[in-house]
């Protein structure tokens, strides 16, 4: 590993937020009651600048040798070694995607920090909030920088916990607590798969280090590869098992079907948190994980990749349908997040490894990047709206464009971006994805087209519902739109949402590290764009002004509407499994068994002894002659027994 | 250093406590003694790291005691025992601190605490089976009295149950030890662990003796189905009592299973390993599921102890170096974590006078410090990275995955499921207690942790973090010793 | 005919068992004491017989008999004293009345 | 003559004391309060001399033999008597026949001494009776108590019956071997139907004195009815004497039948352990409780005896010493309480710790020692007994014994629980402890703690063999 002291500073990028967490966690209450916000903004912006510098140095100076981006490992120290081969190393791995993620995480996190400054003003646990944000940023950065599959698992867990803490930030709200628990437990369940996957892969690869593991498992012919493919379980090779299990972990974090149920509830957290964790960064960890191990997937287990593709596209369609029916604006955004992540997933799924085939990979990373920008923007905008209206429900909104001009414009930009209307960022990334899908999986392609139409529709349903439809009247909505910290992030992000599309992304990030030109064929673009426009027009027709068309349509497609409105009854299903099967059929019997059988045996032995001693008390009759009889019987028995022994 | 100090100091402390002029002086003496012991333990650790690699046992010293029975006070430590001693020292200090304000007969209380710790220290440093057994039993009666006199709930019943089951365990151990003594070549009978380790015992004999020793020690560390003293005992014991029980006493068993049963009878261990593994897996899952159904915080933690100690036995049963190391990690980690948890539960109980989860809620508002500690304990117990539990459990998983056959794989995965169940019940307990709206109005008036409670909690948290953030030192400490054990096991085959 | 060892042994054994039987069945303490005397006498008879017929060399058996008789006397003395005392407290010398201590 | 004096020191001394007391009795005038300390001092002197001036050799063609081990055992018995005289000084002061009582006790002790030294069956029989009959008389010393006389009656009748059986056995042995000398017997005994019968008769007489199940039934009743000193004497001193003799007789005289009595011992050991424990579970009267507990202890002694080698002798002797300290401590506390409150039930001890912590600690220590919990000496005693028993490779016997240790712990803890944990409804009132009693209890506690931790005591015994 070419450890270069020049890049040692990278360790600071995650450590600065951690520092914030420690300071505010320990002393926040006393000393940083109000200043904690500013301090942590300074810290995070420092690490953002460092991240920028890192990106610059990596992409333009160090990273590329003879046209291929190499992975760089500035730091690596052994943390816990199980055997000679297997050891958890704490290291930093720089390669295109991790550097790109560095930028995304620090950038969005910075925006959210600034935004929260006024959004969370007056909260009594203000410092704790920033502490948690710091913790999350730290763990997320650690996750993206991980050089060791076990290291990524650790940060994976940490991210989960910080998300738990932030969802449950309003801990006195039962719904928030429930949502936090749900998020943690569901992802935990997925992580079990991840863990076992790690065990399988590491056992066969005889390493936990990413590069070595990839190198060994992605090159057919190595001993490890053949052992991984050779041994199997239920007729499926160990390698396939391992990779699918690892993907299970990713699916959990990225809310893929059927492990998605926690994401909508997670909206109980403060809106900026949703913007950071449940839109831009944490939820794409799954995509990142698959991308991290992409060579292994695409070279050694294309079947798994195919599965990923279908899961991704179905999730995205499914989420889009639900999103059309929700009325809580944050939930709508949550489902749209699910759907967009679905895009990224199937983009990976339909991608090949080298050269032109790698389009899907690059496209998915590209979409990850742009999505982070405009989805964060959407959430923050929603935050402003909620801040202003004091409600999440669309029925309390409408006609806000006059009261919230800035938000209105930025929100519109974001909506256009996500609907894939040129020249906004979303357009470019989505085009590439569709192109990749079109080349590899026609079915996926058509479903994706449908989904992007739906996307445009529900986003503009949201937009019109908030800013148009009916004139706004709300007594306890206060005067002005918001202070500088509230609006600055919106503006900055909207610039990103407009401009990010023009980045030649393929030059930086591609599956094999070589430069990949991402062409745009106008002919190809016509269909998706027109579908998007169609969706917008339908939304305009239905929601631009208040009318009864939506209800008529809803009642026309009653069944579909209701089931979509109830999220296709997934929560109920899970409830049935846990409350209906796990608790009464496993937990209760176990507890009962322990109290009555195992413990009962112990008590029974005691009472048995007592009983015997009561039974035989007649022996001690208190009369001399029976005693003598016992004496005599004893003598006779013993002598007879002894004679018997002696004769034998 | 001369290891005698590790048992003489508690002895002196105990006397000081007993002879202390005023009852409220007792706690001062015991705290002083415990702290001094902690310092000595740390010193021992440092010296051990410096002096390591000359033979398996460090700081050996030999004193004749009963020459006609070949019994001697043979002291010596290896990495595992050093780790255990450190754990004990931490828990003892915390326990004394937590029980700073015991009103009822403080003198006797602290005397018994110190006596219990004396037993533990002696157990961990003795290389002679007789003295080992002596110290093992020495620790039984203090537990009985602590629970019976200072306990709560159906304390007499629990105390009796605990004392009798542990006594049964040690009876089995005694039989095993005597059998070992006579299993050696005639005349050369000895209780000396190092000597017994040298001469190899025929497999048939090992098959007989191993279950005696393993079950005997296993009862101490909640081997299914001999674990039922754990829930009752822990739940009725006073705070410090539960801390010592779960933090120290259960570790005596695990240590014994490893050091005596497995190390001295490797063939027996290999012969019974599958049985042990199955029992351990049952304990892990079944304990976890049983925990899910409990409503009393102490019961929750007690049952989770059953589940967690299952990992210790699983690691030992797997008989791979990594797994055994993991078992030792789990012992240390579980000791610290569960002691912390019990301490916190005690703090909560002192204030709310209830341990029923349903009665609580929203305590985070009034008791921020205590609830934070509770969260840390809970997260450690569900194996969050950065805290000790993660390190231990992952090591056990890694180690058991080294076994190739499908059955082991299945069992490992089954054990893995427990980390999900653990998450469920921990979040249920902690979430219900700390989060949500404030359950009762009178909870408003509660005062957060006092200095001694804070100190106790912080000490234990430091221990947990030290392992969780930098496991390599513990690894370096333990691995050489586990390697030796493995070498013996492999060479015996 | 000349009585042989076996006759004597038979008698002594009979005596022994008669004594035992008496001890087990009679209610009156004095009678029980007497049956114990029977047992002792059977033993004496044994000793004498063995000494005469089997080991005529020295007189161990005879001496033993003497000692037995002496001890029997002492025992009887103490026993009777105790019985008298029992009579004082219980107003009866029936073995059945003295049965409070039991269980 | 000199040899005679030297060898028979202990016996002569005891007889001397007895005569002295009788003479004092003639010239009456000394009050109990004045007499008792005097007696105690005399006994103490006797103890010291027996312990520190041992002699080795035999008299009268081996009818009487003594040795260092026997000397030590006699010293142990004397120590027991000394402690009893201290512990029960409250009762002794009150009794109007102090002298007689002491004389009887000492003559019983004399009998035990001869029993230990006897090398001839006549000797053996005489001393056994001498050791028994006075005790029967003693147990009647609560003249006004019905229970006392009942106990005495049971004692004398059943022991007379037992000695009848014993004599029958002896007569058979004589008939077979034609000798009464132990040394001669060894060579002449070999297994045969009649020998076996005779041996069983002899064995059962021993078993009766040791209160081995099923020959134990008199024990509890007599213990309960008799005054405290007598109970203590019976349970410690006479039991000790018989146990010592039993070991030496089995090991020396009946070695040819070794295999047979090994089986016999194992059977009776198990029955004794189990029955003793099962009965002890349900007792409330402390004397009766201790009676059954001592029966269970005998079971452990039998396990130790099965060893049939030096370790057996040593562990039994050592255990008797330990058992003496522990049991006397328990009896002492009980008698102190009984003297000043008249309560002798375990249920009366509830909440005693609140008022009399020291007594409770002594009692608890004694009980833990009886249960074999470290660091008390009882632990070492038990372990050594089991260790000796295990030497013959009978694992199942050790398993049963060890499990019985658990049961016994249960009922010992019952007393502890009553004293430490439960609430008293009717307070037991103040308990007066005189100086000698405190001193004796102190001695016992010291014995309980040090006899085990200081290994040289056991090693010394081991050297004596």
Q: What is the pLDDT of residue B89?
A: 94
Number of domains forming the structure of chain C:
1
Q: For A625, name the nearest residue in chain C, comparing CA atoms only.
A: C24
Contact B130, D458 (CB under 8 A): no
Angle A149-167/A126-145 helices, nearest 10 degrees? 160
Mean pLDDT computed over A96-101? 88
Read off the pLDDT band of A401 (50, 70, 90).
confident
Number of domains forming the structure of chain B:
1
D positions 122-161 inside 8 Å of C (CB): 122, 125-126, 129, 133, 136-137, 140, 143-147, 149-154, 156-157, 160-161
The verdict on a CB contact (< 8 Å) between D179 and C60 is yes
Distance CA D254, CA D249 (A): 7
CA atoms within 13 A on the CB side of B45: 21
A449 by Cβ neighbours in 10 Å (0-12 / 13-18 / 19+) ranks as middle
Contact B313, B257 (CB under 8 A): yes
CATH of the domain at C73: 1.10.287.3510
> Of the given ranges (A60-64, A629-633, D240-244), which has the lowest mean pLDDT?
A60-64
- Rg of chain A in Å (alpha carbons): 31
pLDDT score of A387 more than 90: no
Q: Do strands A76-81 and A87-91 pair parallel, antiparallel, or not at all (unpaired)?
A: antiparallel
Contact A281, A372 (CB under 8 A): yes
Six token digits for residue A635: 């003598």
Q: Which of D373, D399, D421 sits opposite B141 (nearest CB)?
A: D373
B32 by Cβ neighbours in 10 Å (0-12 / 13-18 / 19+) ranks as middle
D224 at interface of A, judged by CB pairs closer than 8 A: no
pLDDT score of C103 more than 80: no
Q: Which of D373, D391, D410 sits opposite B164 (nearest CB)?
A: D410
Q: For A618, name the nearest residue in chain D, comparing CA atoms only.
A: D279
Write the pLDDT tens digit of every residue in A194-224.
999 999 888 888 888 888 888 888 888 787 7
Distance CA B123, CA B80 (A): 12
Domain that holds residue C24: 5-100
* CB atoms near residue B12 (< 10 Å): 15
Q: What angle do CA D264, D270, D271 make, to 5 degrees?
A: 90
Q: What is the pLDDT of residue A474?
A: 65
What ipTM was predicted for this assembly? 0.90
Q: Do strands A64-65 and A68-69 pair parallel, antiparallel, or not at all (unpaired)?
A: antiparallel
Contact C30, C93 (CB under 8 A): yes
Q: What is the pLDDT of residue A2?
A: 45
The verdict on a CB contact (< 8 Å) between C19 and D164 is yes
pLDDT score of A90 more than 50: yes
Mean pLDDT computed over C31-48? 93
The alpha-helical segments, DSSP class H, found in B261-320 are 263-264, 266-292, 297-318
Question: In Å, how far are B110, B373, B426, D226 from B347, measured between CA atoms?
Answer: 18, 11, 18, 54
B149 at interface of D, judged by CB pairs closer than 8 A: yes
| Chain B residues within 8 A of A181 when measuring between CB atoms | 427-428, 431
For a pLDDT cut of 70, what percent of chain A falls above it? 98
Q: How far is CA D263 from the centre of its chain?
A: 24
Q: For B397, name the nearest residue in chain A, comparing CA atoms only.
A: A199
The verdict on a CB contact (< 8 Å) between D398 and B178 is yes
* CB atoms near residue D423 (< 10 Å): 7
Contact D7, D59 (CB under 8 A): yes
Question: In Å, how far are B20, B137, B298, B306 from B225, measured between CA atoms?
Answer: 43, 21, 20, 10
Helix/strand/coil (H, E, C) string of chain C?
A: CCCCHHHHHHHHHHHHHHHHHHHHHCCEHHHHHHHHHHHHHHHHHHHHHHHHHHCCCCCHHHHHHHHHHHHHHHHHHHHHHHHHHHHHHHCCCECCCCCCCCC
Domain that holds residue D279: 2-464
| Chain C residues within 8 A of A628 when measuring between CB atoms | 20, 23-24
Regions of chain B short of the pLDDT cut 70: 52-55
The verdict on a CB contact (< 8 Å) between D149 and C36 is no
Q: What is the pLDDT of residue A385?
A: 85
| Chain A residues within 8 A of B164 when measuring between CB atoms | 606
For A393, phi then psi, to 5°, come to: -85, 135
- Sorted by sequence, the CB contacts under 8 Å of residue A518 that are 6+ apart come out as A359, A362, A363, A366, A428, A432, A504, A505, A506
| Chain D residues within 8 A of A620 when measuring between CB atoms | 217, 220-221, 279
Pairs of CB atoms within 8 A across B/D: 81
Closest CA to D115 of D249, D223, D310: D249
Six token digits for residue C60: 């161990």
Angle D395-420/B155-183 helices, nearest 10 degrees? 150
DSSP letter (8 states) at residue A617: G
Contact B393, B330 (CB under 8 A): yes
Distance in Å, alpha carbon of A610 to nearest chain D alpha carbon: 7
Mean pLDDT of all residues in chain A? 84
| Chain B residues within 8 A of D395 when measuring between CB atoms | 175, 179, 208
D172 at interface of C, judged by CB pairs closer than 8 A: yes
Six token digits for residue B320: 């791979």
Q: In DSSP terms, which residues pair with D118 in a beta bridge?
A: D64
Answering whether pTM is above 0.90, one says yes
| Chain D residues within 8 A of B65 when measuring between CB atoms | 455
Write the pLDDT tens digit of every residue in A484-534.
888 888 888 888 888 888 888 777 887 777 777 777 777 788 888 888 888
**Coil vs helix vs strand at A328:** strand
Q: Do strands A76-81 and A68-69 pair parallel, antiparallel, or not at all (unpaired)?
A: unpaired
Distance CA B245, CA B301 (A): 12
Distance CA B180, CA B158 (A): 33
Q: What is the pLDDT of residue A645?
A: 86
Q: In a structure prediction context, what are the per-residue pLDDT tens digits for chain D, which is 465 residues long?
A: 678 888 888 999 999 999 999 888 887 677 888 888 989 999 999 999 999 888 888 888 888 999 999 999 999 999 999 999 999 988 888 888 888 999 999 999 999 999 999 999 999 999 999 999 999 999 999 888 889 999 999 999 999 999 999 999 999 999 999 889 998 999 888 888 888 889 999 999 999 999 998 899 999 999 999 999 999 999 999 999 999 999 999 998 999 888 889 999 999 999 999 999 999 988 999 999 999 999 999 999 999 999 988 999 999 999 999 999 999 999 999 999 988 888 889 988 888 888 888 999 999 999 999 999 989 999 999 999 999 998 888 889 999 999 999 999 999 999 999 999 888 777 777 888 888 999 999 999 999 999 999 999 999 999 988
- Sorted by sequence, the CB contacts under 8 Å of residue B83 that are 6+ apart come out as B328, B331, B332, B474, B477, B478
**Coil vs helix vs strand at B362:** coil
Read off the pLDDT band of A323 (50, 70, 90).
confident
Q: What is the pLDDT of residue A406?
A: 84
pLDDT score of A226 more than 90: no
Q: What is the pLDDT of residue D445?
A: 95
Probe site for chain B from D421, D458, D460, D463 (most B CB atoms < 10 A): D421
The verdict on a CB contact (< 8 Å) between D383 and B174 is yes
Number of domains forming the structure of chain D:
1
Q: Which of D214, D215, D263 sits opposite A645 (nearest CB)?
A: D263
Q: For B285, name the nearest residue in chain A, comparing CA atoms only.
A: A590
Closest CA to A195 of D371, B393, B167: B393
Q: In DSSP terms, which residues pair with C28 in a beta bridge?
A: C94
Mean pLDDT computed over A170-191? 88
| Chain A residues within 8 A of B367 when measuring between CB atoms | none
The structure tokens 């990225």 sit at A254
Distance CA D118, CA D104 (A): 21
Neighbours of chain D (3+ CB pairs under 8 A): A, B, C
The verdict on a CB contact (< 8 Å) between A622 and C23 is no
Domain that holds residue B178: 5-492
DSSP letter (8 states) at residue A502: G
Mean pLDDT computed over A421-429? 83
Residue A572: which H helix or E strand, with range? helix A570-575
Contact B397, A195 (CB under 8 A): yes
């Amino acid at each position: 590993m070419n450890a270069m002291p020049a890049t040692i500073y990278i360790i600071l990028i995650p450590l600065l937020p951690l520092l914030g967490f420690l300071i505010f966690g320990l002393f926040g209450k006393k000393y940083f009651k109000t200043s904690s916000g500013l301090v942590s903004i300074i810290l995070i912006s420092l690490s953002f600048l460092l991240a920028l510098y890192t990106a610059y140095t990596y992409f333009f100076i160090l990273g590329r040798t003879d046209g291929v981006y190499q992975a760089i490992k500035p730091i690596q120290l052994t943390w816990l070694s199980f055997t000679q081969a297997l050891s958890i190393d704490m290291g930093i791995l720089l390669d295109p995607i991790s550097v790109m993620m560095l930028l995304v995480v620090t950038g969005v996190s910075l925006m959210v920090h600034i935004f929260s400054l006024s959004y969370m003003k007056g909260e009594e646990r203000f410092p704790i909030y920033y502490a948690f944000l710091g913790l999350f940023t730290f763990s997320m950065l650690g996750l993206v920088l991980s050089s060791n599959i076990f290291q990524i698992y650790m940060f994976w867990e940490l991210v989960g916990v910080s998300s738990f803490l932030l969802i449950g930030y309003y801990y006195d709200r039962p719904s928030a607590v429930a949502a936090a628990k749900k998020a943690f437990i569901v992802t935990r369940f997925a992580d079990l798969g991840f863990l076992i996957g790690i065990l399988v892969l590491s056992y066969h690869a005889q390493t936990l280090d990413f590069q070595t593991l990839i190198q060994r498992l992605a090159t057919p012919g190595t001993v490890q590869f053949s052992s991984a493919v050779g041994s199997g379980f239920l007729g499926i090779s160990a390698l396939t098992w391992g990779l699918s299990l690892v993907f299970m972990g990713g699916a959990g974090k990225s809310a893929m079907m059927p492990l998605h149920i926690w994401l909508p509830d997670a909206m109980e957290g403060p809106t900026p948190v949703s913007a950071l964790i449940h839109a831009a960064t944490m939820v794409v960890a799954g995509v990142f994980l698959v991308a991290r191990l992409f060579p292994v997937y695409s070279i050694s287990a294309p079947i798994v990749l195919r599965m990923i593709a279908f899961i991704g596209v179905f999730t995205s369609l499914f989420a889009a349908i639900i999103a059309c029916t929700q009325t809580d604006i944050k939930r709508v955004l949550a489902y749209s997040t699910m759907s967009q992540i679905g895009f990224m997933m199937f983009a990976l799924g339909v991608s090949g490894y080298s050269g032109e085939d790698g389009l899907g990979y690059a496209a998915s990373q590209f979409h990850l990047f742009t999505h982070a920008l405009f989805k964060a923007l959407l959430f923050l905008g929603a935050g402003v709206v909620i801040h202003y209206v004091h409600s999440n429900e669309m029925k309390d909104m409408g006609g806000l464009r006059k009261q919230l001009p800035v938000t209105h414009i930025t929100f519109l930009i974001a909506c256009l971006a996500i609907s894939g209307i040129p020249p906004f960022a979303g357009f470019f990334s989505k085009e590439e994805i569709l192109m990749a899908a079109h080349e590899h999986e026609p079915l996926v392609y058509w479903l994706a087209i449908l989904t992007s139409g739906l996307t445009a529709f529900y986003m503009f349903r949201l937009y019109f519902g908030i800013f148009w439809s009916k004139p706004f009247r709300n007594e306890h909505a206060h005067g002005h739109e918001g202070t500088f910290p509230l609006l600055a992030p919106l503006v900055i992000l909207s610039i990103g949402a407009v401009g990010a599309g023009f980045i030649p992304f393929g030059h930086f990030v591609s599956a094999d590290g070589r430069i990949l030109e991402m062409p745009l064929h106008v002919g190809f673009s016509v269909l998706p764009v027109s579908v998007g426009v169609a969706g917008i027009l339908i939304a305009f027709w239905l929601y631009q002004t208040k009318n009864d068309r939506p209800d008529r349509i809803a009642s026309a497609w009653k069944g579909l509407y209701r089931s979509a409105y109830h999220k296709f009854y997934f929560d109920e299903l899970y409830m049935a499994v846990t409350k209906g099967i796990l608790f009464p059929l496993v937990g209760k019997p176990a507890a009962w068994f322990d109290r009555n059988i195992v413990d009962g045996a112990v008590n029974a032995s005691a009472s048995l002894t007592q009983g015997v001693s009561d039974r035989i008390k007649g022996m001690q009759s208190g009369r001399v002659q029976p005693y003598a009889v016992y004496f005599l019987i004893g003598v006779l028995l013993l002598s007879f027994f002894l004679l018997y022994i002696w004769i034998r | 250093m001369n290891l005698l100090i590790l048992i003489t100091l508690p002895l002196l402390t105990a006397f000081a406590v007993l002879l202390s002029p005023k009852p409220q002086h007792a706690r001062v003496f015991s705290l002083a003694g415990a702290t001094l012991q902690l310092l000595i333990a740390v010193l021992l650790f440092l010296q051990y790291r410096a002096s390591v690699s000359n033979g398996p046992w460090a700081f050996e010293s030999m004193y004749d005691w009963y020459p006609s029975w070949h019994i001697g006070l043979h002291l010596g430590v290896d990495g595992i025992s050093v780790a255990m001693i450190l754990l004990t020292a931490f828990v003892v200090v915390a326990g004394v601190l937590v029980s700073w304000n015991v009103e009822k007969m403080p003198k006797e209380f602290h005397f018994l605490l110190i006596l219990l710790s004396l037993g533990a220290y002696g157990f961990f440093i003795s290389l002679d089976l007789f003295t080992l057994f002596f110290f093992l039993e020495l620790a039984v009666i203090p537990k009985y009295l602590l629970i019976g006199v200072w306990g709560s709930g159906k304390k007499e019943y629990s105390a009796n149950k605990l004392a009798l089951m542990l006594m049964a365990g040690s009876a089995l151990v005694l039989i095993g030890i005597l059998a070992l003594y006579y299993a050696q070549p005639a005349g050369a009978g000895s209780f000396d662990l190092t000597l017994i380790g040298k001469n190899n015992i025929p497999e048939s004999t090992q098959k007989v003796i191993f279950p005696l020793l393993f079950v005997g020690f296993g009862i101490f560390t909640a081997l299914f189905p001999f674990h039922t003293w754990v829930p009752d005992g822990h739940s009725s014991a006073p705070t410090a009592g539960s801390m010592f029980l779960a933090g120290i006493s259960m570790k005596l068993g695990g240590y014994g299973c490893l050091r005596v049963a497995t190390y001295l009878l490797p063939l027996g261990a290999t012969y019974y390993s599958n049985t042990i593994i199955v029992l351990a897996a049952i304990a892990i899952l079944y304990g976890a599921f049983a925990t899910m159904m409990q409503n009393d915080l102490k019961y929750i933690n007690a049952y989770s102890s059953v589940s967690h100690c299952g990992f210790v036995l699983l690691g030992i049963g797997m008989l791979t170096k990594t797994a055994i190391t993991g078992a030792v990690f789990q012992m240390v980690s579980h000791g610290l974590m569960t002691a912390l948890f019990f301490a916190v539960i005690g703090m909560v109980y002192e204030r709310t006078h209830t341990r029923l989860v349903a009665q609580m809620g929203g305590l985070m508002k009034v008791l921020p410090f205590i609830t934070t500690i509770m969260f840390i304990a809970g997260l450690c117990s569900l194996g969050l990275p950065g805290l000790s539990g993660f390190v231990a459990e992952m090591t056990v998983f890694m180690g058991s995955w080294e076994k190739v056959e499908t059955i082991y794989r299945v069992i490992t995965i089954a054990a893995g499921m427990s980390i999900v169940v653990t998450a469920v019940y921990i979040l249920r307990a902690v979430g219900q207690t700390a989060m949500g709206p404030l359950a009762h109005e009178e909870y408003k008036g509660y005062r957060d942790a006092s200095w001694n409670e804070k100190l106790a909690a912080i000490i234990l948290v430091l221990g947990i973090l030290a392992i969780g953030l930098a496991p390599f030192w513990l690894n370096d400490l333990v691995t050489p010793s586990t390697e030796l054990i493995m070498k013996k096991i492999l060479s015996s085959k | 005919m000349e009585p042989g060892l076996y006759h004597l042994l038979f008698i002594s054994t009979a005596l022994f068992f008669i004594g035992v039987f008496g001890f087990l069945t009679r209610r009156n303490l004095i009678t029980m004491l007497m049956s114990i005397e029977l047992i002792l006498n059977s033993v004496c008879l044994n000793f004498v017989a063995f000494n005469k017929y089997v080991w005529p060399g020295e007189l161990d058996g005879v001496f033993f008999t003497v000692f037995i008789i002496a001890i029997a006397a002492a025992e009887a003395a103490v026993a009777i004293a105790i019985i008298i005392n029992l009579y004082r407290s219980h107003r009866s010398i029936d073995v059945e009345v003295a049965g409070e201590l039991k269980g | 003559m000199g040899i005679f004096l030297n060898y028979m020191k202990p016996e002569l001394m005891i007889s001397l004391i007895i005569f002295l007391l009788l003479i004092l009795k003639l010239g009456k005038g000394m009050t109990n309060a004045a007499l008792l300390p005097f007696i105690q001092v005399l006994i103490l002197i006797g103890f010291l001399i027996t312990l520190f001036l041992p002699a080795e050799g035999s008299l009268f063609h081996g009818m009487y033999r003594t040795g260092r081990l026997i000397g030590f055992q006699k010293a142990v018995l004397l120590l027991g008597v000394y402690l009893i005289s201290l512990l029960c000084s409250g009762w002794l002061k009150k009794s109007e026949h102090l002298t007689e009582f002491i004389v009887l006790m000492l003559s019983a002790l004399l009998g035990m001494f001869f029993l230990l030294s006897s090398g001839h069956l006549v000797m053996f029989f005489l001393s056994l009776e001498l050791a028994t009959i006075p005790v029967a008389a003693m147990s009647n010393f609560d003249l006004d108590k019905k229970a006392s006389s009942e106990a005495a009656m049971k004692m004398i009748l059943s022991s007379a019956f037992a000695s009848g059986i014993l004599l029958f056995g002896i007569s058979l042995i004589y008939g077979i071997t034609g000798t009464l000398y132990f040394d001669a017997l060894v060579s002449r005994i070999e297994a045969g139907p009649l020998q076996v019968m005779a041996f069983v008769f002899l064995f059962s007489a021993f078993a009766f004195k040791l209160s081995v199940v099923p020959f134990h039934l008199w024990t509890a009743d007599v213990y309960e009815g008799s005054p405290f000193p007598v109970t203590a004497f019976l349970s410690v001193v006479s039991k000790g004497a018989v146990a010592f003799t039993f070991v030496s007789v089995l090991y020396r005289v009946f070695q040819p039948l070794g295999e047979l009595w090994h089986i016999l011992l194992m059977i009776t050991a198990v029955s004794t352990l189990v029955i003793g424990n099962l009965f002890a579970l349900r007792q409330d009267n402390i004397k009766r409780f201790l009676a059954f507990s001592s029966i269970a202890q005998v079971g452990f002694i039998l396990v130790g005896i099965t060893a049939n080698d030096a370790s057996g002798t040593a562990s039994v002797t050592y255990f008797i010493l330990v058992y003496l300290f522990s049991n006397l401590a328990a009896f002492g506390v009980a008698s102190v309480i009984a003297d000043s409150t008249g309560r002798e039930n375990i249920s009366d001890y509830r909440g005693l710790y609140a008022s009399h912590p020291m007594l409770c600690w002594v009692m608890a220590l004694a009980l833990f020692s009886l249960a074999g919990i470290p660091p008390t000496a009882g632990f070492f005693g038990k372990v050594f007994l089991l260790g000796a028993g295990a030497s013959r490779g009978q694992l199942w016997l050790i398993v049963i014994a060890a499990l019985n240790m658990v049961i016994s712990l249960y009922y010992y803890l019952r007393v502890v629980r009553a004293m430490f944990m439960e609430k008293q409804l009717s307070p037991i009132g103040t308990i007066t402890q005189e100086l000698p009693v405190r001193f004796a209890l102190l001695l016992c506690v010291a014995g309980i703690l040090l006899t085990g931790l200081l290994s040289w005591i056991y090693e010394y015994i081991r050297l004596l063999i």
